[in-house]
Amino acid sequence: MTKLVAEVLEKNNLPGAIFTAMCGGAEIGEAIAKDTRIPLVSFTGSSKVGLKVQQTVSARSGKTLLELSGNNAIIVMEDADIQLAARSVLFAAVGTAGQRCTTCRRLLLHERVYDKVLEQLLTSYKQVKIGDPLEKGTLLGPLHTPESKKNFEKGIEVIKSQGGKILTGGKAIEGEGNFVEPTIIEISSDASVVKEELFAPVLYALKFKSFEEAVAINNSVPQGLSSSIFTRNPENIFKWIGPMGSDCGIVNVNIPTNGAEIGGAFGGEKATGGGREAGSDSWKQYMRRSTCTINYGNELPLAQGINFG
């Protein structure tokens, strides 16, 4: 990627080093955050690290563009297209092994469709092919690192300790590679672990009784990246996308929390950082804004009563 971009830059008489990829640990990010030659630092990662980046850059009067943690919810109302919702949840929760900032981590189901939706999902989860994601038909590949696999196992233990009931999955797969089972867990929305982001294919199933309760649960976590509702009711749709609805940066209707944001202003609120990438919002943040006033005449009638001779 670096080589391809460098060739394009050089063909346009620009230094290839404008686009540079570096591999390393926290020392590289720390150096970038502290460097006064860099007026804007765009960071993607956890809320914890993002806060440190923001504090470091702000201390030198620099600007940050943050795209941090997501704890995204899909709400399925009683009037939703169940087939459409189930397919969307599977894609959003299992795709990329749950390692996407817009991954669906919380599934809010109206009590009237709770059992029906879960039944379809449990049937679908049993059909998920786990293995090499480059092979046709494989939906679930490995986690990124051995540490990610350990975090999954630790997370499952914490979930169990807080009353979580595993409906399917919940185990790491023995053998070569960082593979884990796609997991659905029945749990209370009040459990503290639900308010944290476990970067793995773990989906929390939560039950609600009313639209207002669903919105309250959606908004109850520190993160505010993506959200989605499945409903045919126009009243609920307009409430959902309005000021009393979702408090996230991405607010979807009848599509999942991931996969449709290309070209739009991508980013979230609260602990997600408040920044926006892509779309018109992106290039504006990389520009320096100036207000310019030009006097094209020979007079400046601003100092009344003063004779300058």
What pairing do the DSSP bridges indicate for beta strands 165-168 and 63-67? unpaired
Element (H, E) at 229: strand 226-230
Neighbours of 157 (CB within 10 A): 11
CB of 227 within 8 A of CB of 268? Answer: no
How many whole angstroms separate alpha carbon 84 and alpha carbon 80? Answer: 8
**Nearest CA among 261, 232, 277, 242 for reference residue 72:** 261
- Say which amino acid occupies 194: V
Residue position matching structure tokens 């480059």: 134
How many whole angstroms separate alpha carbon 218 and alpha carbon 225? Answer: 11
**Nearest CA among 268, 290, 285 for reference residue 65:** 285
Catalytic site includes residue 212: no
Tokens representing residue 244 in the block: 């009393």
Residue 65 CA to its chain's centroid (Å): 14
Buried b (16+ CB within 10 A) or exposed e, 190-219: ebebbebbbbbbbbbbbbbeebeebbebbb
Annotated active-site residue in 67, 181, 197, 261: 67
CB of 106 within 8 A of CB of 194? Answer: yes
**Nearest CA among 89, 114, 116, 250 for reference residue 189:** 114
Question: By three-state DSSP, how is residue 72 classified?
Answer: strand
Element (H, E) at 211: helix 211-218
List the catalytic residues: 67
